[in-house]
Structure 1
């Protein structure tokens, strides 16, 4: 952990890429796998508030391509695990689109159609690139997890769903996260307060639901952690944090490793206004949280069995709320995007480019506009599979 703390403190802004429109801010960042034979060709995709996706070269931070054929609100982006040329995006128009970044046109290479009333607000693809799943907003008292065969077809045909899960959440499904190594395991989070884990190899939804953890609040982020990725964590819309060990599900030990209702009250060593995300560092087997302030500061916190420790802060890069980050373990670099219409690349001991920072943007996040925060009383659980945490 000391080494990562040292690396974080040595990060400086190496490259800065501003949006064409100063009112456009960055909601999500996706990074392709490192290209061993050509590391300078690693691609970065960003999801923008103007309903566009922009593709960048990570090394030069130059914009390579822009996709803006989205009639609805975008809700996520991610690259294929096995093919760096394929990029997925989900949209509120009941589609997930697949883009071939080698193509010069602006039309998707493939479209995965949902059902007409679906509004997708989350999605992910399994680690073997075979299964795609998207979570919907609650409409008419129903919310769905929709599944497709994700295998790419050069014919560019549209795909219809393989099936749905409809009983395990009763409100907006804000997160879908497949296991990093096991393509059959998937975790989901919802504004109903629940984090569910499914084994999608099972024949039906009831059998697939292997565990349910109750955060007590509206879930905003879900992730996998632990040496064997047998732990899950979540962040909540009221800046809370929960961390569970699924390996202890069938033991007498509590599965809760850490639970904080409001990080802003728990941590006093720095000024935290919100949580950006979680970071499990597999090389050090350590769990970290990334937090921020509305002035653009970024804070790193370490997590260890109900104990949170402030480590370091990055200052002088952003001037407004930071909404997304991506830590690259291969070269220990960091990408951040915020509401100041900037994409920043931080590198170890880089020449500081802070004097060129942009002015703060006074704007409400699209994520905040889209997702309703519910009270802890607005959900119910499957008692037979919900263990006291």
Structure 2
């Protein structure tokens, strides 16, 4: 990854800020921090890297999947979907899941002793397969005094809206729309007459 200063004309020689190498293909990246001076990177082999290019520090979690799995009582973490940063809490979460559709929000400690902690939120019961996208929400009103914790979309074709009572305990209440699953119409065989 190359980071350029986009103020004015972009010139590779004069505006290159940093070059960051993870050694494999990149799945997702995102900026975070008070002044967005940090960057997280998820790879296709389920590793996590964090850079602060202002301080020139780097933290690699080559063993991110095993660290998350060790702190989860629901079996193995099979994949990572995304990361979420809360400016209010000044905290980064790694969002990982199991092939059964259960997701966990794992807090990441990237300064000092690096660690991926036990999940602070678990979302289960909405999906039956791999979850591919997460849209975290905060302070969004929902039904019956609950708040919307987030939205997820998965390979099962479901769009789930996860509800929270305000705490980051296990979140297993969801509204799931199976009507969003498109089914191909049945093709009827024509009843043509055969002359033979």
Shared fold (TM-score, shorter chain, > 0.5): yes
CA contact (8 A) 2:124 2:172 kept: no
Give how far 1:310 is off. Answer: 1.8
8 Å contact kept, 1:225–1:232: yes
Distance in 1 of aligned mates of 2:64 and 2:172: 32
Select the residue among 84, 98, 103 that pairs with 1:298. 103
Sort the Cα spacing of 1:202 and 1:315 in 2 relative to 1 into closer, same or farther, 3 A. Answer: same
CA distance in 2 between partners of 1:297 and 1:351 (Å): 9
2:131 maps to 322
Q: CA deviation at 1:264?
A: 2.1
Secondary structure of the corresponding residue to residue 344 of structure 1: strand
1:190-246 CA deviation, whole Å, 9 max, x = no partner?
A: xxxxx2211122432332221111112211101011122110110000000000112
CA distance in 2, matches of 1:353, 1:219: 31
Maintained 8 Å contact 1:317/1:357: no
Say if 1:351 and 1:329 are closer, same or farther in 2 by CA, change over 3 A: closer
Deviations 1:161-199 (A, max 9, x none): xxxxxxxxxxxxxxxxxxxxxxxxxxxxxxxxxx22111
1:283 aligns with 2:88: yes
**Aligned residue in 2 for 1:263:** 64
Unpaired segments of 5 or more residues in structure 2? 141-147, 166-170, 182-196
Residue in 1 aligned with 2:117?
309
SS in 2 for 1:266: helix
CA contact (8 A) 2:122 2:172 kept: no
Structure 1, residues 101-120: CA drift from partner, whole Å, max 9, x if none?
Answer: xxxxxxxxxxxxxxxxxxxx
Distance 2:122 2:174 in 1: 17
Partners of 1:333 and 1:348 lie apart in 2 by 6
- Bigger Cα Rg: 2
Unaligned runs of 5+ in 1: 1-194, 250-254, 362-389
- Relative to structure 1, the CA distance from residue 239 to residue 295 in structure 2 (aligned partners, 3 Å threshold; closer, same or farther) is same
Contact 2:164 2:173 in 1 (8 A): no
Cα separation, 1, equivalents of 2:177 and 2:153: 13
- 2:3 paired residue number: 197
Q: How many residues align?
A: 158
1:353 shift after superposition? 5.4
Q: Give the corresponding residue for 1:213.
A: 20
Superposition pairs of residues 18-37 of structure 1, within 5 angstroms? none
Shift of 1:357: 8.2
Match of 2:158 in 1: 342
Q: What CA distance in whole angstroms lies between the structure 2 residues aligned with 1:352 and 1:288? A: 20
Separation (CA, whole Å) in 1 of partners of 2:173 and 2:25: 38
In 2: Cα distance, 1:198 partner to 1:329 partner: 31
* Segments ≥4 residues shifted beyond 4 Å: none
The Cα of 1:266 is off from its aligned counterpart by 2.3
What secondary structure is seen at the aligned counterpart in 2 of 1:341? Answer: coil
